Structure 1
Amino acid sequence: MDVDGGGNKRVFHRLGGPQSDPSKNQKVCFHWRAGKCNRHPCPFLHRELPPPPSQQGLNGTASSKRHHAFSATTDGPSARNRGPNNFNGGASSTWGRTGGTRVFVRKMEKVCNYWVQGNCSYGDKCKFLHCWSMGDSFSLLTQLDGHQKVVSGIALPSGSDKLYTGSKDQTVRVWDCQSGQCLGVINLGGEVGCMISEGPWVFVGIPDVVKAWNTQTNSELSLSGPVGQVYALVVGNDLLFAGTQDGSILAWKFNAVTNCFEPAASLKGHTLAVVSLVVGANRLYSGSMDHSIRVWSLETLQCIQTLTEHTSVVMSVLCWDQFLLSCSLDQQLKVWVATQSGNLEVTYTHKEEHGLITLCGMHDSEAKPVLLCACNDNTVRVYDLPAFSERGKIFSKEEIRSIQVGPGGLFFTGDGTGQVRVWKWVADLASTA
């Protein structure tokens, strides 16, 4: 190449010439920073420029500007739980290129598509995540494959060594908790809208019926009465409640003499489907597609309050201590507390950038209360309560619709692809360091 002729002089000057100051007239290759430069030779630098002497940090290697960018990226509630493994060792090359830390964080908090397909060639140098989570407090144990559509329910009956998962592929799968092998597939002939366990019983909501299995006696019952899909199930005050597509909540009571569930009540009030139910403080709370939450007395089965602060579907309700937590597709998570009059009022609103799908409360390995909040951007945020400080994140190919707590620090997630993942809480490395 004739470096003295025409436009090639510009290339020569970009490189600074043989005697130029390395901090002037040089440019770091944009494509190299992105990890995909294929020019040989490349007219730009394949290394970072050294900082000016006046910007050297205390260790003599990092500029004050770069140190500030790092602080802006990691300072805050979630910083203490994000170790270097979460950034895959290649983060420093993106600091100067992004023009701001927000872009950097969003890029790094994304699972590498090539890694998912098993053919990422950058390995540890890839700027995207090669794992399904961020955070040091929990780890992925295994993955259970088999369902073909979204996992809509996960249940672990007491006294059983089996895990039950229900899906919109119209099946319930039974898994061995020791080996992780699928022991059987139950075809129901209808999409599973929800599934819970209470004692030895497993309850499954499908269109127009609730299936009940006793895992100890192997008996099976069908509870008729629902109109349309059954979206939510909960047990309280010796009653089984089902939230249905037509907006009603049906209740059954178990008769030990006849060994069957007898209809007990039908709660009316919601104008659209009831998609979430929870029991706490002698109350039944129901979230609906009509954007409201209704509070029912478990003694009288009458509605005693209607909460209308959400502006979209109330996807999940959860009781924690004396509080009620609710989340909605309106991107808001609300914390409710009872006033002296007994009515619930919002005491705190947490806002996300995406719609919220489901909530699950549990305790970590140190018995601290933790909230898992699934969003419709295919992630689950992990928060410490009551501060709502973020301590981790779980990623998935599609929305995670089911989260279930297990014994011994285990918890389970089920996503839209049909995959069930088993997680375990571990010691918080940041707090023990």
Structure 2
Amino acid sequence: MDLDAHGGNKRVFQRLGGGGGGGGHSTVDTRQKVCFHWRAGKCNRSPCPYMHRELPFPAAAAASNGAPTKRFTGGSTWGRVGNNNNGSSSSNHNRVIRRPEKVCTYWIQGNCGYGDKCKFLHSWSLGDGFRLLTQLEGHQKSVSGIALPSGSDKLYTGSKDETVRVWDCASGQCMGVINLGGEVSCMINEGPWIFVGIPNIVKAWNTQTNTDLSLTGPVGHVYAMAVGNDLLFAGTQDGAILAWKFNAATNGFEPAASLIGHNMSVVSLVVGANRLYSGSMDHSIRVWNLENLQCIQTLTEHTSVVMSLLCWEQFLLSCSLDQTIKVWVATESGNLEVTYTHKEEHVKIENGIFGMPMNLNVNPLIWMSTLLGVLTLCGMPDSEAKPVLLSACNDNSVRFYDLPAFTERGKIYAKQEIRSIQLGPGGLFFTGDGTGQVKVWQWSKEPTSASF
């Protein structure tokens, strides 16, 4: 996108210097050479004999005025099964090539001397319609879960630093720190209950009755949880999905079932349309009937780890380390098929791709962070009730897409990758990143109070 964080103006990528073609510098345009010191952001020559702007790309001269290039080209709805158009048609030859957006390192450190003339972003977001309200500091490692239990005025955040922090929603102050003795891999809430996955245990807290339970049974890390049909499901490192049923008489949870089918860790779960959907490191999605807990379909179109699942109206959305977001719809037979595939771009890869460690003592999330792809999906309405998809990638960004067109409308940036996104009331949403920082955002047409 070409929008900045101040209401939709185009970003300034070009800082024109003294060699812009005025008198006495006619050789600059003839030589067409860009100053490499300017590119590095540290040219101090005035006038400089070289250009302080990028040369136009040949394709840019023939392109239109910056229209979004990544959009759903199959029409205005996800209606045609098997449409996997990722924008790879011949029209790509006329696509405008833009410099990747990047947050200024010196601005992060508080000492950028270029100010508004800096060619990099001085903001944690790019786009309009949403804004950063506040930042919550305290966690020492990656934030892996965010929860807002109903009837509570507290926000709960879980982290790899083996703690859960409790924040007052009115003041933004940390009200307490709960030490768990194991790193938090996931956290969800259902009604007044908060469920926290740590190695070999699921912790369950009732914020209204102060009930504190430990559910045993998982082997290794608990990577994902979901609630449906009065059952709590937990996806575990050994590939099983454990289920517990709530017993109102004892105010506790009793083991109900173990769903076996995946042959590697289950890292994503979601419930919708009387089905449980599970995504795994074995690259598959399994569909389970909530009534009899039997697997009724296995989806194998992804080619890497299925990191996140989202049920939205009649659609299932899935994302993977294969760099794709897939949209699934039920056919007349009742089976799910891909109706659209969106491919993310500009995601990173670090230290190469390694084989999957089979030792359960090795945390697969460390291995997964070396791969490229999409980490988390979250869907929500904007301030005008239009559907927006949030897609967190491991290039430390979250992309915003208008649905169903998949038109990009903005981005959020972080120092490290964002793995947790949680919706809140009144257009609020929360993100947690790898540094332990939690940011509070809000959709809004007009500026509002900074409290949450």
TM-score (norm 1): 0.81
User: How many pairs are equivalent?
Assistant: 378
Q: How does 1:221-370 map to 2 (within 5 A)?
A: 221-353=213-345, 354=347, 355-370=373-388
Distance in structure 2 (CA, Å) of the matches to 1:19 and 1:116: 39
* CA distance 1:39–1:195, change in 2 (3 Å): same
> 1:24: how far off?
6.9
Q: How does 1:22-101 map to 2 (within 5 A)?
A: 30=35, 34=39, 35-39=41-45, 42=48, 44=49, 72=64, 74-76=66-68
Residue 114 of structure 1 aligns to a residue whose secondary structure is helix
Give the match for residue 410 of structure 1. Answer: 428
**Is the CA contact 1:78–1:392 (under 8 Å) kept in the aligned structure 2?**
no
* CA distance 1:387–1:21, change in 2 (3 Å): closer
Say whether 1:379 aligns with 2:385. no
* CA distance 1:26–1:253, change in 2 (3 Å): closer
Distance in structure 1 (CA, Å) of the matches to 2:332 and 2:403: 24
Residue 99 of structure 2 aligns to a residue whose secondary structure is helix
Residue 116 of structure 1 aligns to a residue whose secondary structure is helix
Distance in structure 2 (CA, Å) of the matches to 1:234 and 1:385: 25
> 1:76: how far off?
2.2
Residue 408 of structure 1 aligns to a residue whose secondary structure is helix
**Is the CA contact 1:316–1:359 (under 8 Å) kept in the aligned structure 2?**
yes
Distance in structure 2 (CA, Å) of the matches to 1:336 and 1:302: 20
**Is the CA contact 1:16–1:26 (under 8 Å) kept in the aligned structure 2?**
no
Runs of 4+ in 1 over 4 A off after TM superposition: 14-29, 45-48, 64-73
**Is the CA contact 2:158–2:186 (under 8 Å) kept in the aligned structure 1?**
yes
Residue 179 of structure 1 aligns to a residue whose secondary structure is coil
> 1:38: how far off?
2.1
State the one-letter code of the partner of 2:245. Answer: K
Structure number with greater CO (CA < 8 Å, separation at least 6) is 2
> 1:426: how far off?
1.4
Distance in structure 2 (CA, Å) of the matches to 1:223 and 1:292: 27
State the one-letter code of the partner of 1:324. Answer: L
Give the match for residue 367 of structure 2. Answer: none
State the one-letter code of the partner of 1:274. Answer: V
Match of 1:199 among 181, 191, 194: 191
**Is the CA contact 1:136–1:428 (under 8 Å) kept in the aligned structure 2?**
no
Residue identity (%): 73
Residue 435 of structure 2 aligns to a residue whose secondary structure is coil
State the one-letter code of the partner of 1:140. Answer: L
Give the match for residue 395 of structure 1. Answer: 413
Residue 426 of structure 2 aligns to a residue whose secondary structure is coil
Say whether 1:219 aligns with 2:211. yes
Distance in structure 2 (CA, Å) of the matches to 1:242 and 1:161: 26
Distance in structure 1 (CA, Å) of the matches to 2:301 and 2:270: 18
Distance in structure 2 (CA, Å) of the matches to 1:225 and 1:400: 29
* CA distance 1:377–1:426, change in 2 (3 Å): same
* CA distance 1:261–1:280, change in 2 (3 Å): same
Distance in structure 2 (CA, Å) of the matches to 1:213 and 1:200: 8
Say whether 1:124 aligns with 2:129. no
Match of 1:173 among 165, 180, 187: 165
Give the match for residue 150 of structure 1. Answer: 142
Give the match for residue 105 of structure 1. Answer: 99
* CA distance 1:23–1:321, change in 2 (3 Å): same
Spell out, residue by residue over 1:140-165, the C-alpha distance to the aligned partner (whole angstroms, 9 max, x if none).
11111111111100000001000000
Residue 105 of structure 1 aligns to a residue whose secondary structure is coil
> 1:303: how far off?
0.3
**Is the CA contact 1:15–1:25 (under 8 Å) kept in the aligned structure 2?**
no
Distance in structure 2 (CA, Å) of the matches to 1:346 and 1:47: 47
* CA distance 1:25–1:379, change in 2 (3 Å): closer
State the one-letter code of the partner of 2:220. Answer: G
Compute the RMSD of aligned alpha carbons: 2.9
Residue 138 of structure 2 aligns to a residue whose secondary structure is coil
Distance in structure 2 (CA, Å) of the matches to 1:15 and 1:204: 59
Distance in structure 1 (CA, Å) of the matches to 2:30 and 2:260: 75
State the one-letter code of the partner of 1:204. Answer: V
**Is the CA contact 2:32–2:51 (under 8 Å) kept in the aligned structure 1?**
no
* CA distance 1:385–1:258, change in 2 (3 Å): same
Distance in structure 1 (CA, Å) of the matches to 2:444 and 2:58: 32
Distance in structure 1 (CA, Å) of the matches to 2:185 and 2:203: 11
> 1:427: how far off?
1.9
> 1:72: how far off?
4.9
**Is the CA contact 1:404–1:413 (under 8 Å) kept in the aligned structure 2?**
yes
Residue 309 of structure 1 aligns to a residue whose secondary structure is coil
> 1:32: how far off?
7.4
* CA distance 1:36–1:321, change in 2 (3 Å): same
Distance in structure 1 (CA, Å) of the matches to 2:245 and 2:23: 88
**Is the CA contact 2:63–2:96 (under 8 Å) kept in the aligned structure 1?**
no
- Structure 1 or 2: more helix by fraction: 1
**Is the CA contact 1:147–1:167 (under 8 Å) kept in the aligned structure 2?**
yes
> 1:219: how far off?
1.3
* CA distance 1:29–1:239, change in 2 (3 Å): closer
Spell out, residue by residue over 1:173-203, the C-alpha distance to the aligned partner (whole angstroms, 9 max, x if none).
0000011000000000001010001000000
State the one-letter code of the partner of 1:105. Answer: R
> 1:68: how far off?
5.9
5+ residue gaps, structure 2, are 1-18, 72-94, 348-372, 448-452
* CA distance 1:401–1:21, change in 2 (3 Å): closer
TM-score (norm 2): 0.78
Distance in structure 1 (CA, Å) of the matches to 2:322 and 2:64: 28
5+ residue gaps, structure 1, are 1-13, 49-63, 80-99
